[in-house]
Structure 1
Amino acid sequence: MSLTQTRYTISEVEARTGLTQHTLRWYERIGLMPHVDRSHSGQRRFSDKDLDWLAFVGKLRTTGMSVADMVRYAELVREGGHTSRERRELLERTRREVRARITELNDALAVLDYKIDIYSMDTVAMNGVATSPVAEEAERT
C-alpha cells in the first residue's frame, strides 16, 4: 500500500468537478471546504477525500439546501461524531423538502402531460382545420 496520496491542483479540481477556481476558493473561505493542504509554495493541494466532499456538496446544492445549511453541516462534521444527531436532522429536513418539491414537480408534470396530450389529439383531429373547441378550452385552463 502506498503512503503517498494523489494530490490535485486547483486547476485539476476545476477540470474534474466543473467548479470554478473562484468557487473553490469561496467554499474554503466560508468554511464549506475543510482545510485544504498547501504545497511548500502555498498552492492548494486537494486530495481524493476533498473531491469526494465536493461531490457530496454538489448533491446538497442540487437538493436546494441553502449555503448556510451546507456550511452548518460542514461545521458539524468538523466538530466530530457527537454531532451525528444534528447532521442527521439537517439531512432529514432537507430530504422532506426535496420530497415536497418532487411532489410539486410531479403535479406540474401531470399538467404538462395533459396539455401535450390535448394538443396531440387536436393535431391529429385537425389535419389542417382551424383549432377545435377542445384545444381552445385547453388554452383557457
Structure 2
Amino acid sequence: MLTVKEVSRLLDLTEHTIRFYTDKGLVPSLKRDEHNKRLFDEESISWLTGIKYLKQCGMSVEDIKAYVDLCLEGHDTIEERYAIIEKKRAIAHEQLKEARERVDFMEEKARHYHEILTKKIPDDTNPGKWHREVQSN
C-alpha cells in the first residue's frame, strides 16, 4: 500500500490533485488506514492512472466521475464506455500530432543553431542584427 506522497511521485500528480480526485469519488477502490489516511493499492493506482490520462485528453472531473460510475455498473455499459474512450482516443491522437509538430519545429531550430555554432552559417536568428545587416548591404 502506498501513501498519497508516494503515489504523487509515482504518477507525477500533485498530492492535492490526488486528494481532490479521491474526494470526488473517482477512485472507488481507495483504502484508508486507522487514522483515515488514504492508502493506494495496485487497483487504486490503476484508477488514478486512467483518470490522469482522461483528464489530459480534456475530460472534466464530472465526466470522469460518470465514466467511473459506468465502469462500476459493469458489463451492460461497455458500449457507452467504448464510445467515451473512442472520443478521447481521437483527442489523444490529435494531441500526439501536435506534439510531433512541436518536436519537428524544435529539431529544426536546434539544427539551425548548431549550424550557427559550428560556423557553417552566419547568425541570422537575432532580430537586433537584422537591421544592421540590411543597412550594410
The structural deviation recorded for 1:46 is 4.7
- Is the 1:13–1:46 contact (alpha carbons within 8 Å) kept by the matching residues of 2? yes
CA RMSD of aligned residues (A): 3.3
Say whether 1:13 aligns with 2:3.
yes
CA deviation profile, 1:15-71 (whole Å, cap 9, x unmatched)? 331156654443233231216455677665554422332233233334443323321
- Is the 2:32–2:39 contact (alpha carbons within 8 Å) kept by the matching residues of 1? yes
- Using the size of structure 2 for normalisation, the TM-score is 0.67
Distance 1:119 1:24, change over 3 A: closer
Which stretch of the first structure deviates more once superposed, 62-71 or 33-42? 33-42
Give the 3-state SS of the residue equivalent to 1:125 in structure 2.
Answer: coil
**How many aligned residue pairs are there?**
125
Quick one: which of 39, 63, 70 aligns to 2:64? Answer: 70
Following superposition of structure 1 onto structure 2, how do residues 49-60 of structure 1 map, counting pairs within 5 Å?
Answer: 49-60=43-54
- Is the 2:26–2:47 contact (alpha carbons within 8 Å) kept by the matching residues of 1? no
1:44 and 1:65 map into 2 onto residues whose CA distance is 24
Quick one: which of 91, 99, 102 aligns to 2:93? Answer: 99
- Is the 2:70–2:81 contact (alpha carbons within 8 Å) kept by the matching residues of 1? yes
The structural deviation recorded for 1:115 is 1.7
Which stretch of the first structure deviates more once superposed, 37-46 or 77-86? 37-46
Query: Any unmatched runs of 5+ in structure 2?
Result: 131-137
CA deviation profile, 1:64-118 (whole Å, cap 9, x unmatched)? 4332332121111122211111111111111100111111111122122112211
- Is the 2:4–2:39 contact (alpha carbons within 8 Å) kept by the matching residues of 1? no
The residue aligned with 1:27 is 21
Distance 1:136 1:37, change over 3 A: closer
Say whether 1:89 aligns with 2:79.
no
Q: Percent identity?
A: 26
Which stretch of the first structure deviates more once superposed, 28-37 or 100-109? 28-37
1:69 and 1:49 map into 2 onto residues whose CA distance is 20
Give the letter aligned to residue 48 of structure 2: L
Query: Any unmatched runs of 5+ in structure 1?
Result: 1-7
